[in-house]
Amino acid sequence: MSTTSDLTIHAIEATPKQPWHKPRAEQRRDAMVYLALAVVAYAIVMVSGFAGPDGFALVFFVEVLLLTILRSRGIGKAKSTNAIISTVIGAGAFVAFAPWVSIFISLVTKGFQGLYFGYLFDDMRVTTPDDELNMGGVGHAIVGSLLMVLIATVITLPLGILSGVYLTEVRGRMTKMVRFVIQSMSGVPSIVAGLFIYTTVVTYSGTYSGVAGALALAVLMLPTVARTSEEVLKLVPEDLRAVSYALGARQWRSSLMVVLPTVRSGLTTAAILGVARVVGETAPLLLTVLTNNEFKFNPFNGPIASMPMYVFGMLQIGTEYSIARAWSGSLVLMLIVLALFVTARRLGGKDKR
């Protein structure tokens, strides 16, 4: 009996305490208090000059801040300061997160009305922007965007990874200049990249094409892939390189057989983030590709459709149905970008080596 009671006592003593978790009764009380503050804030907005969700959020924040200050009296300066700063930080996080939620809700509510079963697989060849929303689709734009992004990835991925390898493994005389060029390219406006390809490719060839658009996207995609690859390669322990050199491997063989396979999931993430960076660009496509209303699988022959240009074109028309189609195209584009980021997160955390 004594042994069992001793074990029970030790088990109770070993249970970790979590003072940051409030009791259920206190949580319910705080919820009721915040609900009452929300009702008061709504009443103030209704009878005062504050209007809309922004006015409600401002009044509610002031109420919560005043409540926090009143509650923090008598609990010490450190705890009082911590409570006030926590409230301010929470309000800042909400302000930063609210616009994204607003955009997402607007896209879903306004873009969902133009979706139907064949929207992702049909084109606008025999459909006008003013036709009913159950006609036409965005399939040709999805195919065009995928073709251009695929070409841009094939061009950019080797160059970006090689740039990262040069900056982290070779570290030659041109390291500072290469890093400076990559950082400078990160700040190049997308319209400038499109203008550069227009003057060097479109003017020379005499025609707009998907390849020209892919080259413009590659210019914007390269710094993202190169900088992400550099940061990923920096995570490789120096011990792996030292062991490889100790076994007699040359630098190129060590980089190819040891360093790159170690961070292959991170390099995959770099590629997907680069794709997500350029898949929604519109400005460079205005100068290099233009658009089309039908499926086109040859990126070398004339203009080709894309998701950003589809949305831009529908919005330019300005009619009720065309604007609805623009919202639907924006929703599809956002879902594609979201899928790319989710894929990058999953691939980035899959390889634990």
Q: Would you say residue 14 has pLDDT above 60? A: no
**Other beta carbons less than 10 A from residue 4's beta carbon:** 8
CA atoms within 13 A on the CB side of 49: 0
How far is the C-alpha of 311 from the C-alpha of 316, rounded, in Å? 9
Q: Which of 228, 220, 214 is nearest to 268 (CA)?
A: 228
- Residue % of the chain over a pLDDT of 70: 92
Q: What pLDDT sits at residue 327?
A: 94
Q: Would you say residue 314 has pLDDT above 80? A: yes
How far is the C-alpha of 184 from the C-alpha of 182, rounded, in Å? 5
Give 18 or 339, the one with higher predicted confidence: 339
Long-range (24+ apart) CB contacts under 8 A made by 89-95 are 91/61, 91/64, 91/65, 94/57, 95/57
How far is the C-alpha of 290 from the C-alpha of 284, rounded, in Å? 9
How far is the C-alpha of 236 from the C-alpha of 167, rounded, in Å? 13
Token output for 116: 């139907």
Exposed, middle or buried: residue 36 (CB in 10 Å: 0-12, 13-18, 19+)?
Answer: exposed
**Topology (CATH) of 139-348:** MetI-like fold (1.10.3720)
Q: What pLDDT sits at residue 249?
A: 83
How far is the C-alpha of 59 from the C-alpha of 77, rounded, in Å? 26
**Mean pLDDT, range 25-33, rounded to an integer:** 81
pLDDT per residue as tens digits for the range 275-287: 888 998 999 999 9
DSSP codes joined into one string, 334-347 = HHHHHHHHHHHHHH
Token output for 172: 């030659």
List C-alpha distances in Å: 228 to 152, 220, 255. 17, 14, 17
Q: Which of 288, 276, 284 is nearest to 337 (CA)?
A: 276
What's the pTM value of the predicted model, to 2 decimals?
Answer: 0.78
How far is the C-alpha of 266 from the C-alpha of 272, rounded, in Å? 10
**Mean pLDDT, range 124-135, rounded to an integer:** 90
Domain boundary assignment for the chain: 20-113, 139-348
Q: Which of 276, 266, 268, 279 is nearest to 308 (CA)?
A: 279
Which of 65-69, 100-104, 304-308 shows the highest mean pLDDT? 304-308
